[in-house]
Structure 1
Amino acid sequence: MTPLWLRRLWQTATGRFGLIVVAVIAVTAIVSSFWTPFDPQSSDIGDRWLPPSWPHLLGTDDTGRDILSLIMAGSRTAVFVSVGAGIVATVIGIALAALGALTTRWVRETVAVFVDILIAFPVLLIAMMISSVWGGSLWVVIWAVGIGFGVNIARVTRPELRRVQQSDFVLAAKASGLTPAQSLVRHLLPNVAPVFIVQLSWSMAVAVLAEAGLSYLGFGASVVEPSWGILLADLQRYIGVHPLSVIWPGLTITFTVLALNLLGDGLREATDPTLRHRAAETHIPAVVA
């Protein structure tokens, strides 16, 4: 039986679009791990700059590599980075939010100051600082985006946790003997999930964008790893001669980032009961005396 939240997600146009595109990217990443139309790293000078046609559906690049195969292989990197950054951001965000909302006053104030300091550093700057020490890699992108958006998640989620903590049902659960950890898992986190989901989807979208941008600048994936950013950097040098080849990786990045953001918005609407209640009220006709 289909879960209720999934049916609600499918009923919204933005959620449906985001779910379809994200599912296609995920399936492509899985399929590309064992099959692509051509070897992504195989060059054939005789087939360089072929236009979109059979069997090269998106054409070839300056060394004769199949662009569709390169994009399919690059989806593995995008999924790996977005999921990895999402996990890191989740752990850091929930830990900081819990410390900033459920502990003693001096700990809460210390965490608040710490979050305010970290939030002043842009994600890309953090990634460049880390890569200057440990070198550019996908793990640099994952940790930079995870830390940057973990702090954002903590900043947004902490006041929501404080608000829910003062609710009657949470106070009743505490009076019944629930520990702070049990209250956090059973009551607090489910009630702040809609806010958390939006921030998490945004962090995953930025992870894809950051990986492409940092790889484009040479701070992300190595040249031997498939990456949409590296492909874009290779092809943009020929944009004046073969502009169509640059469109494909650019569109892929754009649609992936857009889909993750729309999926997050759709999940928020599908899981937030207050939004559904307000939406239902707007459809109730007013009674005219």
Structure 2
Amino acid sequence: MKERLRTETQSVTPLLPEHVSAGRSHARIAWERFRRHRLAMVGLLILGVLTLLAVLAPVIAPYGPDEQDLFSITTPPSRAHWLGTDELGRDVLTRVMYGGRVSLSVGLAAALISSLIGVVVGAVAGFYGRWIDAALMRFIDLMLAFPALFFLLVLFTIVSASVWNVILFLGLFGWMWLARVIRGEILALKELDFIDAARAMGASNARIIIQHLLPNVTAAIIVSTTLSMAYNMIAEATLDFLGFGVPPNVPTWGNMLTGASNYYLQVPLLPVAPGAVLVLAILAVNFIGDGLRDALDPFTEW
């Protein structure tokens, strides 16, 4: 009998999926799937290098961000200035490093603000429904129809432009799409049996939303936040180019492109460095977002 049971057990074991392993958490499974996404790992490496250069800029940058060399204005790359100098004689490499501190911070901070607002509004609308859902959805429609650029013009006539103002502007006008996504997910999830079981056990509405519903839409929140970060970096550069963004004296990749706009023909290499770094950062964030979407989606085949 023992030999027969051992034989039957051995015959059943190979039928189990190879990736099933007892004791592995969802986070570990998602990380293992994320590591197999080559573009996502490349994006993570690029973004990590750019972030490291931005954080360590005061230590490793060869010059100060506003330090001028009046004898080297719009010069090509050399030993003294690896990426050349701009129209005011400032080292381009140094300003690219310091510019990453602001551009990456604006993208991340604005994405976190918009994600927080979008999650709260979408969860409340989807869970409570009825007139609350209708009122919030109509407010979202109004926000989407509102001319954000016009509001920005009015805002900056009242207060001066600054990094924090740009972050708040992008954050307050970038949450509507995520709110719609979260609302749709909550509408589907709240009808499932585990929500009825939580209600039967006496769980409050807040506890159901926070502990039972939101963990099931984590993938949508994370992916939306990463993609929103890429969008915010583009938006910040666009606002700088239009003259409504970060003040010109603050080094950002967008400000560097704006400053080089008058020298494209005379010094073609001047906009290359900030433009290339901005493109790399946006591609890296998008690659990471795609990798996270695939890693967190249980229906994705590997």
Q: Aligned residues: percent identity?
A: 33
2:110·2:171 contact (CA, 8 Å) conserved in 1? yes
Closer, same or farther: CA 12–129 of 1 in aligned 2, 3 Å = farther
150-159 or 138-147: bigger deviation: 138-147
The equivalent position to 1:243 in structure 2, one of 260, 264, 268, is: 268
Match of 1:270 in 2: 295
Deviation at 1:176, TM superposition (A): 2.1
Partner of 2:170: 145
Is the 2:109–2:167 Cα contact (8 Å) retained in structure 1? yes
| Alpha-carbon displacement from aligned partner over 1:1-42 (angstroms, at most 9, x marks no partner) | 994323322211221122112212221221114441211211
Distance 1:123 1:14 in 2: 34
- Tell whether 2:118 aligns with 1:93: yes
How far is the alpha carbon of 1:137 from its aligned partner? 1.8
Paired residue for 2:208, among 172, 183, 186? 183
Unaligned runs of 5+ in 1: 281-289
Deviation at 1:126, TM superposition (A): 4.6
Equivalent position amino acid for 1:155 in 2: R
Could you tell me which residue of structure 1 aligns to residue 159 of structure 2?
Answer: 134
Change (3 A) 1:133 1:116: same
* Alignment: residue pair count: 277
After TM superposition, the structure 1 = structure 2 runs for residues 196-215 of structure 1, keeping only pairs within 5 Å, are: 196-215=221-240
Map 1:48-87 to 2 at 5 A.
48-87=73-112
Give 2:87's aligned amino acid. Answer: D
Q: Is the 8 A contact 2:76 2:84 kept in 1?
A: yes
Report the CA distance between 1:124 and its aligned residue: 4.7
Residue aligned with 1:119, SS: helix
Is 1:231 aligned to residue 256 of structure 2?
yes
86-95 or 126-135, which deviates more: 126-135
Give the conservation status (yes or no) of the 8 Å contact 1:152–1:199.
Answer: no
**C-alpha contact (below 8 Å) 1:216/1:233 kept by paired residues:** yes
Large movers: runs of 4+ above 6 Å: none
- Report the alpha carbon displacement of residue 123 of structure 1 after superposing the two structures with TM: 5.2
1:261: which partner in 2? 286
Deviation at 1:94, TM superposition (A): 1.2
The whole-number CA distance in structure 2 between the counterparts of 1:118 and 1:43 is 44
**TM score, norm. by length of structure 1:** 0.88
- Secondary structure of the 1:243 match is coil
| TM norm structure 2 | 0.85
Note if 1:20 corresponds to 2:52: no
Q: What is the rounded CA distance, in whole Å, between the counterparts of 1:123 and 1:18 in structure 2?
A: 31
* RMSD across aligned positions (CA): 2.0
Structure 1 match to 2:29 = 4
Cα displacement (A) at 1:257: 1.5
